[in-house]
Structure 1
Amino acid sequence: MQYKRHEYFRYEFDHQLEATLQVLLTDGSGESNPGTCNLLDISPGGTKVSTEFNLPETRGPLQLRLIFTLFEQPLTIEGEIAWKKPVSDGFQYGIDFIEDPSIEKLIVGELKLRRQREAEEKAGK
């Protein structure tokens, strides 16, 4: 697996955010059954997830589809596994999103709204 990372900010979640994960089949015949994972952090260019699934390491990059909501807008984003690390309750993966300026802009906008709501909730306590 080749690792490449642009200089993006990383937003770490206070509480893991649940997402749906699907492996995109390399022969173009579709995708795997959906499974769950947790987003640990996110940037406009990628995310770190944890899951119980031991995804195979293939000769080429393994492509995934993630479906989640940061604030209001449901996001469906495709990416490739950049790295894999075993942890006590499964595995962590670094996922590089397929570059798409409109998705990057949507992630930034949703994160701003999420952060604003979190700040308001903390101020209200």
Structure 2
Amino acid sequence: MRYRRQETLRYSFETPPPARFKLIKGGEKHVHSSTGKGQVIDISPGGMKLFTTVHIPSEKKVQLFVHTAIAQVDLSFTADVVWENQVNDGYHYGLDFIGDHQDKVIHALKEYRKTSQESST
């Protein structure tokens, strides 16, 4: 499994925004799971780190549909799970977005920065 730490734009949140996700593909089979809850630890135009207490079986290729909002900008992605780390109270998953979401992510992060600066003044 690979890490994308070399990406030039990766934003780590001090207070991670909530996210919801569904398992949509496991191996070669399409599935429809119930909705899980998580938090966006960090995000880049190509992917994100998701925290959840739900264990996602990652032995086979797994795809998730993820929805979150950053600075009131709704973001929805289909993503491959590319790595998994167990942490004290749950799991971190590295997600690689399927498709080009660069403009949406950059727009959301600009709005987040604006609202963060306004609330600190």
The alignment's TM-score, normalised by the length of structure 2, stands at 0.89
Letter in 2 for 1:113: E
SS in structure 1 opposite 2:119? helix
> Cα distance, 1:4 vs. partner?
5.6
User: Do the aligned partners of 1:37 and 1:50 also contact (CA within 8 Å) in 2?
Assistant: yes
Query: Aligned runs of 1:8-87 on 2, under 5 Å?
Result: 8-26=8-26, 27-28=29-30, 30-59=31-60, 61-87=61-87
**In 2: Cα distance, 1:75 partner to 1:22 partner:** 14
SS in structure 2 opposite 1:33? coil
The ranges of structure 1 where at least 4 consecutive aligned residues each deviate by more than 4 angstroms after the TM superposition are none
Letter in 2 for 1:104: Q
User: RMSD over aligned Cα, in angstroms?
Assistant: 1.5
Give the unaligned 5+ runs of structure 2: none
Letter in 1 for 2:20: T
Q: For each residue in 1:53-104, what CA deviation from the matched residue of structure 2 results, as whole angstroms up to 9, or x when unmatched?
A: 1111223x2101110111223211010111100111011111111131xx21
Q: For each residue in 1:13-37, what CA deviation from the matched residue of structure 2 results, as whole angstroms up to 9, or x when unmatched?
A: 1101100011113423x42110100
Query: Aligned runs of 1:86-105 on 2, under 5 Å?
Result: 86-100=86-100, 103-105=101-103
Work out whether 1:106 is the aligned partner of 2:104.
Answer: yes
Q: Which range moves more in the overlay, 5-14 or 83-92?
A: 5-14
Matched residue count: 118
SS in structure 2 opposite 1:109? helix
User: Do the aligned partners of 1:25 and 1:32 also contact (CA within 8 Å) in 2?
Assistant: no
Equivalence for 2:119: 121
**In 1: Cα distance, 2:116 partner to 2:79 partner:** 27
Larger Rg: 1
Question: How many percent of aligned residue pairs carry the same amino acid?
Answer: 29
